[in-house]
Each structure stands twice: as C-alpha cells, then as structure tokens.
Amino acid sequence: MSFEYVLAIETSCDDTSVAIVRKDGYVEACLAANQDLVHKPFGGVVPEIASRNHTLQILPLIEQIFAQTKFSFDKIDALAVTSRPGLIGSLLVGVVTAKTMALVKEKPFVGVNHLEAHLLAPFLFDNEFTKPKGLDFPYLALAISGGHTQLYIVRGFGEYEVLGRTVDDAAGEAFDKFAKRMGFGFPGGVQVDQKAKLGDRSRFALPRTMIHDEGYNFSFSGLKSAAIRLIDTLSSEELEKESAHLCASFQEAVVDSLMAKLDRAAKDLKLERIVLTGGVSANSRLREVCTEWAKKNSFNIFIPPLRYCTDNAAMVGFAGLQRLISGERADQNLSASASSLDTDFKEASR
C-alpha cells in the first residue's frame, strides 16, 4: 500500500490541531485552535478544561481543513494521531476521534509519540517555508517546550537516543513560572522574551545550574527559585523599574544552561547538524545565540518555523507517515498513555 497523504490529529496538551501532510513533508494545511485564553485565569493548563475544549474543537477543525484544502477522505490514505505522552484526557479525545474515523472510513492509522513528532518537525515545509537544505541523519536535537527539555541523537526515522534531560523543571515551565511571578499572562515565555529585549542581561547574577556537571542533563528549578526569591525582595516600584533587566538576566541564564550542554554534546559526538525544536525554540535570544554559535563552529542549524516548533499536527502527520511506510499499523485497541513507551527512545550509551 502506498501512503501519499495523511490526516493528522494532535491533542496531547492544550492545543487542538489537525493537518494534512504529504509523505515528503509538504504540509497541505495545518490548523490549530489555541486554548491559551481559556486557561489564562488559572495560570496554567487545567486538564479537564483542556479535554473538554478538544471535544468541542476537533470535529469543526477537521471539517474546516477538508473545506479549505478541497480534500475529501478519498484522497487521504491513513490517519496519524498523538497517543503519548501528554495529558491523558486530552490524548484520549484525539485517539478516539482517529480510531472512529479510521473505522468508519476504513483507513489504516498509527499512534505517534509527541516527542518523536517534535524531533522530525525540521523536515516539514509548505508554500511559504521551503524545504531545508542539508538536513540528514544523524543530527543532534534539542527539544524544549513547556513539558519537556531533552537532548537527543536522531540517527534515523524511529532511531532516537536520549543524551540528556531536565532533572526537574522543563525550560518552558521555568519561563512560565517566572513570568507568572512577574505578573505576565500564561503562557509567559513570549512576554519574557519581548521584555528582555529592553533589559541588561548582566544586571542580576542568576545560577546556571549543572552546566559544569558531567553528562548532558539540565536543571532549571534552582534558577526559577533564585529568580522568584530575588523578585520577592523588590518593592512593586523596584519590580516595575527592574522588570526588563530581570527578564533579560533570567532569559540569559536559561540560554546559557541550554547552550552549555548543546555545545559540549555537539563537540563530544562530532555532530554538525543541529536541530532546535519545541515552543521555547521560538525564543529570540536563544535563536540569536545558537545561530552565532553554529556559524562560529561551522555547524548547520535547523530551526523549524514557529508554527511547526510549537505543538501542531503537521509534525505528527510526518512522523506517522514514516511509521506507516515502515509497515506499522495501530488497531482499535490503541490506547492513550501519559508517558512514552519503553521502546520509543533508547538511552545513549556513553
């Protein structure tokens, strides 16, 4: 059976997204309904509210993508859905939708690991963003989002080795918690990024935890706590005055912590192709530092456009297509799982 087009569904956290993707990575369309405004008053994602919103949004989005692309189910060869890891109630909405459509339309389908999808996002292209040149295996990939901070060697489709991970908070989670204490909305990473542009990065000395430790793990909770303690010592007038400097100093500490391990891993493993992916790779300072670093070391860096860095179904479609092409199929017993399966990733041997 040949697989040309897949309909993909992503509902692992708070973004409902659907996409139609071609097997070479071309994205026919990718739609997403963001729930930020719904969760904002709570300062974080409320799982029950997220899954309820997925149930409201998923079918209208699928109708919309078919209407917009003029595709019908006849042109779709299979379905791909994020089945792990994530919020279980949210994942279930996508999984049940995909299973039902696969059954009714008699199409094959696969369950995809959300993190694998992030790792393959640099292969995506569309009518605005051209196919990246020189992207090939193996590459080093830093996946940084609200829920994850992991460093991988990607050796091929389905061949992923974990080099390091955060031992506590994810980088995006640290951004969001810091932002919340600063009085910004949720999620706050983007506001910190904006504000930091006006600040002095060396104004406050904040910790870069674990950067000299052996291995490639990360830690952000010490930085987050130090920054929050510092904010607690300031009056509201001082906080207002120092706000941009605090953001710039905090952001620089996150960027330094990420870059220290990325630099060491690229050099130790002699990997010259580097991928940044996940919501935090939208950070303008990280992009700037990483691009300069790559230039200086003659590394080839790939950062997907923002729409494919944050949670989206297009990356799920591309990852799912590779699995379908290799012969994998899910059946009606497919269940959602809050964590990755043991077989999804290997620990890298040192």
Q: Which residues bind ligand KG4 (CB under 6 A)?
A: 13, 145-147, 172, 175-176, 187-190, 193, 278-280, 282-283, 310-311
- Minimum CB–partner distance for residue 107 and Zn ion (Å): 25
Smaller CB separation from ligand KG4, 154 or 280: 280
- Minimum CB–partner distance for residue 186 and ligand KG4 (Å): 8
Instruction: Based on the shown chain and the rule CB under 5 A, indicate whether residue 145 belongs to the binding site for Zn ion.
Output: yes
- Minimum CB–partner distance for residue 258 and ligand KG4 (Å): 11
Instruction: Based on the shown chain and the rule CB under 5 A, indicate whether residue 217 belongs to the binding site for Zn ion.
Output: no
Q: Number of residues in contact with Zn ion, rule: CB under 5 A?
A: 2
* Single residue of 173, 311, 315, 334 touching Zn ion by CB under 5 A: 311
Q: Which does 249 bind (CB under 5 to 8 A by kind): ligand KG4, Zn ion, none?
A: none
Instruction: Based on the shown chain and the rule CB under 5 A, indicate whether residue 150 belongs to the binding site for Zn ion.
Output: no
Residue 91 CA to residue 340 CA, distance in Å, equals: 13
- Residue pair 51/92 in contact (Cβ under 8 Å)? The answer is yes
Q: Kindly state the DSSP code that residue 220 receives in the 8-state scheme.
A: -
The count of residues in the chain is 350
Smaller CB separation from ligand KG4, 172 or 317: 172
Cβ-closest position to ligand KG4: 279
- Minimum CB–partner distance for residue 147 and ligand KG4 (Å): 4
In Å, the largest CA–CA distance within the chain is 66
Instruction: Estimate to the nearest angstrom the gap between the alpha carbon of 91 and the chain centroid.
Output: 16
- Minimum CB–partner distance for residue 282 and ligand KG4 (Å): 4
Q: Which does 210 bind (CB under 5 to 8 A by kind): Zn ion, ligand KG4, none?
A: none
**CA-based nearest residue to 29, from 38, 18, 39:** 18
Supply 335's token pair: 């269940």
Smaller CB separation from ligand KG4, 15 or 102: 15
- Residue pair 244/195 in contact (Cβ under 8 Å)? The answer is yes
**CA-based nearest residue to 4, from 155, 100, 107, 95:** 107
Residue 22 phi, psi (nearest 5): -90, 160
Smaller CB separation from ligand KG4, 111 or 278: 278
The helix (run of H) or strand (run of E) holding residue 146 is none
Candidate ranges 144-152, 266-274, 289-297, 336-344; the one touching Zn ion (CB under 5 A): 144-152
Residue 195 CA to residue 208 CA, distance in Å, equals: 21
Residues forming a β-bridge with 15: 34
Smaller CB separation from ligand KG4, 36 or 48: 36
Number of neighbouring beta carbons within 10 Å of residue 45: 21
Residues forming a β-bridge with 154: 139, 160
Instruction: Based on the shown chain and the rule CB under 5 A, indicate whether residue 16 belongs to the binding site for Zn ion.
Output: no
Residue 118 CA to residue 200 CA, distance in Å, equals: 32
Smaller CB separation from ligand KG4, 78 or 145: 145
Supply 288's token pair: 């700037």
Q: Which does 140 bind (CB under 5 to 8 A by kind): ligand KG4, Zn ion, none?
A: none
Smaller CB separation from ligand KG4, 13 or 336: 13
Smaller CB separation from ligand KG4, 188 or 317: 188
Calculate ∠ Cα 41-150-249, nearest 5°. Answer: 60
* Chain positions contacting Zn ion, by CB under 5 A: 145, 311
